[in-house]
Structure formats: structure tokens, C-alpha cells
Amino acid sequence: MIGYATIGTNDLDRATKFYDAVLATLGGARTFANGDRMQFYGSKDTPGMIAVSKPYDEQPATSGNGTMFGLPAASKTQVDAAHAAAVAAGGTCDGAPGQRMPTFYGAYFRDLDGNKVCVFNMG
């Protein structure tokens, strides 16, 4: 249903290194870039993409209160690996991996710009 979601950053180089590490654990990789202000990521397994971007209005990127991106994982092991990669790459834990509901296993972290991300497995 989603084509892509954009995550704001104030330092594109730093953000792409962070998301390179995190998204690799989920089978994601860089797909294409829009100059020096935006990097897209995708996966052959899902049609949706994520873009890490400097804001168009050239104002500082800020994280939204209540805003969160959910990234699907193929397994609980992938959830654990993505969370560990995020923390190892300088992100902060915002909820350790665990079973949240009978069919939802998730982990939460904040990226280097404070954006909240959930990696989850349904099943």
C-alpha cells in the first residue's frame, strides 16, 4: 500500500551509513539517490521504499512526536539483528526486541536524528 516513506536527516552521509547497516539486516540496500539530498532504499522482497532526506525547505530536520516507521522483518532473528545493528551504529534503544502481542514481535530504536523506527515480525 505504501510506495515510500521519507525520514528527515540533518547529515545525509551519517544517516546513509546508519541505514546501510540497519537495512542490510532486512535485505534492504541503496536503490537510487537524488543528488546530495536524498537516498532511497529498497528490497527485492517488498515494493515499498524508504528515503533518507534533507528537508526541501532547508530547515532543520526534526523527529515528530508520535511519528514512527515500521519495517517488516521475515523473522524474529531479523528483528533482533536490525535492532542490534541500529544500536551498534549509534542509534538508541527505544524498546528491546520482544513479543508485544500474540502475533507481533517487535523492537524499537531511534536513529541518529531522533526518528523512531520499529522493526517487526508478524506471525
Please compute the mean of the pLDDT values over residues 36-51 and round it to a whole number.
92
pLDDT for 21 equals 98
pTM of the model: 0.90
Fill in the DSSP letter of residue 60: P
**pLDDT over 90 (residue 111):** yes
Q: How far is CA 56 from the centre of its chain?
A: 20
Residue 94 has pLDDT above 90, yes or no: yes
Least trusted range by pLDDT, from 32-46, 71-85, 98-112: 32-46
The full set of domains in the chain, from first to last, is: 4-56+67-122 (3.10.180.10)
The count of other CB atoms within 10 Å of the CB of residue 29 is 12
In angstroms, how far is CA 41 from the centroid of its own chain? 10
Residue 3 confidence class, pLDDT cut points 50, 70, 90: confident
